[in-house]
Structure 1
Amino acid sequence: MKLFYRIFDFYIESSLHVALAVYALIRITFLSLNILYDEPVAYFGFYGTIIGYNFIKYDELARVKRVKLTKRFKSIIGLSFVCFWISLYYFWQLEPITKYIGIGALLLTILYTIPFIPNKSNLRNWSGIKIYLVALVWVAVTVWLPVINAHYPIDLLVILKSLQRFILVFVLMLIFEIVDLQFDGLYLKTIPQQLGEKKTKFLAYGLLIVFILLDLLKPNFTLKSFLINSVFTIILVVFTFFTSKKRNKYYTSFWGEALPIVWLLLLSF
């Protein structure tokens, strides 16, 4: 059992799980816009997420705090190194204009961790900005990357998809921030810190109502997709309802990040 938990923790801590969530959202974009499966885009998003998230999580530990390198830490660094070269391989297969999106996401990731002004805080520590930044990057990678690489026209459907994706990630981040109330410093001024747990949940419920109503405006609206998205929205509402700062790390790091994968499975039937 101990071996299972060690493998499971490595799976979570090495960002493989969150990378699967990004991959799932990219696949959902392909499905919902009838774009042919694009391997370079899907795998660049997957491997790039592992690099980006591991850089965000472990750069400060290694560069600033100089935490002792454990076997698990070394394994995560090794995995990230391998993923870097794989993502670079798929990066060169992207359309020229799409590469700029990938570079932009990389720059935001670096600035999120490393201050771009000496002796100033990084973007992660800018009060209130984290949740919007993360949502924008996820929209760029999971919607705009596959759309632009496929030369799909930027129409009303793409705009609605982008809004829905932003709301989805924003709500998931609200859930993370509620659970992290017990750890986050007050200087971060997260939404739950400012509104409180209860009002933050009501904000999430309101956003999820907008999320599903946007489906009705889509030019390719079908009853089947609306029902599937409605079921997914209900799952999000229930998950939000049971969120609290007393939840353990697996509630968000595994179950929360598994929700996009659940959405893909629902749409695949």
Structure 2
Amino acid sequence: MPEKEHSGIRRQQPLASWLRAGIEAFLYSSVFISLCAFGLTVETYLLTGNEVSLPMAGFVFLATLFTYNTSSLQRTWRGWGTSIAGQSWSIRHQRELTMLALLSLAGAVVLFFMYQLRINLWFVLTLALISIGYTVPLGSNRIKPFRSVPLLKVFLIALVWSAVTVLFPLIDAAVQLGSQVILIWLRRFLFILALALLFDIRDYTYDRRTRTLTFPGLLGEHYTRYLSLGLLLLYLLLVLLTEQGAILISLMSAALVAGLIVWNASEEKPRIYYALLADGAMLVHFAFVYLAVS
């Protein structure tokens, strides 16, 4: 009997290891956050009553996957990093992430030209440079990445995400960029900005060590959470003024979920809290809207 129990335990351990490895790959390869970008892009079509363009949503997914893995591409290009136990997941899987970045870039280019997406190529390249320059220095090594500029990184994240997930699909759908579009963009900007502040809280010690001024460094962790909640309240105010019915309820519910995640955020929380919940609030946002219009 004991031997059977031990054999059962041995069978369960590899299964648990495979499951954990799969979850880590899903989260830390940026596939999950790219799905969040995909979801928010589809949500924009749903909010405006336009037909969903899967090629555009796929383009956003692949472009996000590429930009979030450019740091691995840079390390491989410069010959940095080796697979050593104890290093971060991204360092240990640097080669795989580099290949993923290249494949996602190729896929995004194919979708852009094959389906003749109607977004200005220079607009795309400008946002791509901002996204890449966020973590990778553009030009010489003496030029710091944008994330090192005091208090700037959260605004860059919100700007790029709101532009890509709102303006890209609506420009491609030939929607006139009037007041309705501006309000949807502003709502999305505020929602993403509120979530981006959580990553400043997560990285507080690292940013302090690198002498990068962020909102937790300026206001403290406690007041940064209040700032994030204040942004969500502004978001809710805009939603109340611009939506009604099931859409209104869905967006208010999404803001409530995000508020709970913000309220419980702290530097001591494990990284998976931010990778799964803080990023996942965007996917919840999409899911609620999808259910509201279905």
Match of 2:6 in 1: none
Consecutive unaligned residues of structure 1, counting only runs of 5 or more, are: none
Alignment partner of 2:146 out of 123, 126, 129:
123
Q: How does 1:89-108 map to 2 (within 5 A)?
A: 89-92=110-113, 93-108=115-130
Match of 2:104 in 1: 83
Q: For residues 202 and 133 of structure 2, what CA distance do their matches in structure 1 show?
A: 25
Match of 1:31 in 2: 46
Match of 1:249 in 2: 271
Q: Residue 61 in 1 paired to residue 87 in 2?
A: no
Q: CA deviation at 1:115?
A: 3.1
**CA pair 96-158 structure 1, distance change in 2 beyond 3 A:** closer
Q: For residues 7 and 82 of structure 1, what CA distance do their matches in structure 2 show?
A: 20
Q: CA deviation at 1:65?
A: 7.0
Q: For residues 35 and 99 of structure 1, what CA distance do their matches in structure 2 show?
A: 22
> Aligned letter for 2:42?
R
Q: Determine which structure has greater relative contact order: mean sequence separation of CA pairs < 8 Å that are 6+ residues apart, divided by chain length.
A: 1
> Aligned letter for 2:169?
P
Residue 193 of structure 1 aligns to a residue in which SS? helix
Q: CA deviation at 1:175?
A: 1.1
Kept after mapping to 2: 8 A contact 1:98/1:145: no
> Aligned letter for 2:273?
Y
**CA pair 71-127 structure 1, distance change in 2 beyond 3 A:** closer
Q: Deviations over 1:74-108 (max 9, x none)?
A: 22222222212111111112445433332222121
Q: Tell me whether 109-118 or 137-146 shows the greater mean CA deviation.
A: 109-118
Q: For residues 149 and 100 of structure 1, what CA distance do their matches in structure 2 show?
A: 14
Q: Tell me whether 182-191 or 226-235 shows the greater mean CA deviation.
A: 182-191
Please tell me the root mean square deviation across aligned C-alpha atoms, in Å.
Answer: 1.8
Match of 1:72 in 2: 93
Residue 185 of structure 1 aligns to a residue in which SS? helix
Q: Tell me whether 106-115 or 156-165 shows the greater mean CA deviation.
A: 106-115
Match of 2:187 in 1: 164
**CA pair 59-79 structure 1, distance change in 2 beyond 3 A:** closer
Q: Tell me whether 250-259 or 76-85 shows the greater mean CA deviation.
A: 76-85
Residue 107 of structure 1 aligns to a residue in which SS? helix
Q: CA deviation at 1:71?
A: 6.6
Q: For residues 249 and 92 of structure 2, what CA distance do their matches in structure 1 show?
A: 46
> Aligned letter for 1:199?
Y
Q: For residues 245 and 31 of structure 1, what CA distance do their matches in structure 2 show?
A: 35
Match of 2:228 in 1: 204
Q: CA deviation at 1:141?
A: 0.6
> Aligned letter for 1:53?
Y
Aligned residues: 266
- Percent identity over the alignment is 23
Q: For residues 195 and 71 of structure 1, what CA distance do their matches in structure 2 show?
A: 35
Q: CA deviation at 1:10?
A: 1.3
Q: CA deviation at 1:174?
A: 0.7
Q: For residues 155 and 116 of structure 2, what CA distance do their matches in structure 1 show?
A: 26
Consecutive unaligned residues of structure 2, counting only runs of 5 or more, are: 1-15, 84-90
Q: Structure 2 length normalisation: TM-score?
A: 0.85
Residue 114 of structure 1 aligns to a residue in which SS? coil
Q: For residues 78 and 173 of structure 2, what CA distance do their matches in structure 1 show?
A: 41
> Aligned letter for 2:235?
F
**CA pair 7-34 structure 1, distance change in 2 beyond 3 A:** same
Q: For residues 245 and 29 of structure 2, what CA distance do their matches in structure 1 show?
A: 39
Q: Deviations over 1:186-208 (max 9, x none)?
A: 52111111100111111111111
